[in-house]
Copies of this chain bind each other. A is one copy, B any other.
């Protein structure tokens, strides 16, 4: 499970940062899920080691241009690149109409099925391995944060050891795999947990943009392994952040702290903090770390491997 940042600038691209997009790579299923798709996202993908043909789902936070103007081009190129099977797109109410209008005016035909899902607070996607939920954030237009939860996986059941213990095959294996305590026909009592490795706890990645500090972000991010949160402004621009309903570095850190996340990655930076300006991004980082130490600054093409929690952490939590 790897996060690759494809665009980390707010509003407009700069020479070193494109507008918003984040790729979540799920190697176990050879899929990429995108979060937002600003103009030039397909160009960034070309320059990354991600394969456009693996894009399977796209989650859109809100309808501002710097988050959606790359969608049509990306979808069209996915079709021309071939071997894209289908794409599901999730987003706010206007997204479907916008894509329909753009397809109609540009006479774009896609060679593969595209389904657009209008999201509502709650679960927007679920299968055997993942759940994706969203909650409304606080921005000038309807905006949703997304929470991707990998489901917990039962520890590996040691069949060899069970056989060595002479446990007869049958439904009892299922009970033991679930970690139940079982009394056998010969009177022995076996604790399933002794035959199972520890549970692999699923990882939780949260994407919160665009928003000013809000309780929904805290709720959405609760106990996350990684919280990706916008930090358009430095703390000294807090007033502007409140006016435009964007976050400062310190707001993002307060969300991380209140939600008890493991790590915080800041993104969606105003170009005013580019190198050479009076305030630079390392100031935003320092401000955030003063509140939430395990904070990082995103940059374009940075890939972050989401770590699994250690067993000790796991048992401490259960």
Question: CB within 8 Å of B: which residues of A?
Answer: 11-15, 18-19, 38-40, 42-43, 46-47, 63-66, 68-70, 72-73, 76-77, 80-81, 94, 97-98, 101-102, 105-108, 140-141
Contacts and interface: CB of A to CB of B under 8 A. Distances in A.
Nearest to A46: B15
A52 to B, nearest CB: 10
Number of this chain's copies in the assembly equals 2
Nearest to A92: B105
Given A64-B106, A68-B106, A69-B72, A43 B101 contact: no
- The 9 A-B residue pairs with the shortest CB-CB distance, nearest first, are A98-B105, A39-B73, A101-B101, A65-B106, A69-B73, A12-B77, A40-B40, A94-B105, A40-B43
B46 A13 contact: yes
B98 A63 contact: no
A236 B39 CA distance: 35
Interface centre among A69, A94, A108 (most CB of B within 10 A): A69
A187 B19 CA distance: 75
16 contacts: A11-B80, A12-B77, A12-B81, A13-B77, A14-B46, A15-B47, A39-B39, A39-B72, A39-B73, A64-B107, A64-B108, A65-B106, A66-B73, A68-B106, A98-B106, A107-B141
